[in-house]
Amino acid sequence: MLKKTYALLIWMMTLAAAAHAQDTLPNFTLRDLGQNRVSISWVNPFEACIQLNVQRSFDSGRNFRTIFSTPSPELPQNGIVDAKAPAPKMYYRIFYVLQGGAYFFSPAKRIGEGFANTNLLDSSANNLVTIKKNDTVLTRIPFYQYKRFRDSIIYKTKDSLFAIGEDEIIIKPFIPQPPAWRPSIYLFTNREGYVIMHLPDAPQKHYKVVIFDTDGKVLHTINKVKEPQLTLDKSDFIHAGWFSFDLFEDGKLKEHNKFYIPKEF
């Protein structure tokens, strides 16, 4: 029992030492694990980080490819093991994006060497930024104009911008989600699959119901609902599936909705 306790303490101390040794972004830590396996770890001081990718290249300044994209970029500590490095001493760097659209590339680094002196993209450079939508190039603009373009997208549209390289941005258009369907409280199916019409004040008001088939054709019309609650015969519906309806109250449309009849009837 005592040996297990000591082993646990040593393991915890090892983890703590490793965490303490990690570099803080934009710096990061590389460790050679042997057999072309490399550990990449970092400390993230940015709570507003919304995207973080680890990239790899044979070269210190170009041809980087993303090998890992973290699903939780906001985590204060994280890391991966590159177990498929094509050659020893590959170069690595970290690309990360903060809320508001600002993005950064760390300096490149490889095992046994410090950070390489690379010409990273900055606001004083004359680099051209390529703006794409899907696989189509929309425009290329100087970097000093990119901030104005980025802000116009972020603050005037619901579209999103993602950097896929040092000088390449892709626009992902906002796709609105259809509103969630809510069953009617007036016309609905119960657990047994029967269609229930529930209109408590039907004797006092004039309700009309028009039920449509899946192709939009009128299936049934009830010109005057007289009972507060009715159960419609299943035989009135020739198949399972969705049916829509219009409910009129005193000649005015009160609700347009739909209901579903399951196959088990």
Supply the pLDDT for residue 264: 66
CA angle 112, 116, 119 (to 5 degrees): 165
Whether the Cβ atoms of residue 102 and residue 85 lie closer than 8 Å to each other = no
pTM listed for this prediction: 0.43
Domains 1-112 and 187-261 share a fold: yes
Homologous superfamily (CATH) for 1-112: Immunoglobulins (2.60.40.10)
Long-range contacts of 82-88 (CB under 8 A, 24+ apart): 82/37, 82/38, 82/39, 82/40, 82/54, 82/56, 83/36, 83/37, 84/36, 85/36, 85/37, 85/38, 85/56, 86/36, 86/58, 87/36, 87/58, 88/36
CATH number of 187-261: 2.60.40.1930
Tell me phi and psi for residue 13, to 5 degrees: -65, -35
- Choose between 169 and 264: higher pLDDT: 169
Q: Is the pLDDT of residue 15 over 60?
A: no
The most confident of the ranges 32-41, 137-146, 151-160, 172-181 is 32-41
Average pLDDT, the chain: 81
Which of 175-184, 187-196, 205-214 is the least confident region? 175-184
Domain ranges of the chain: 1-112, 121-176, 187-261
Tokens of 197: 């019409």
Supply the pLDDT for residue 54: 94
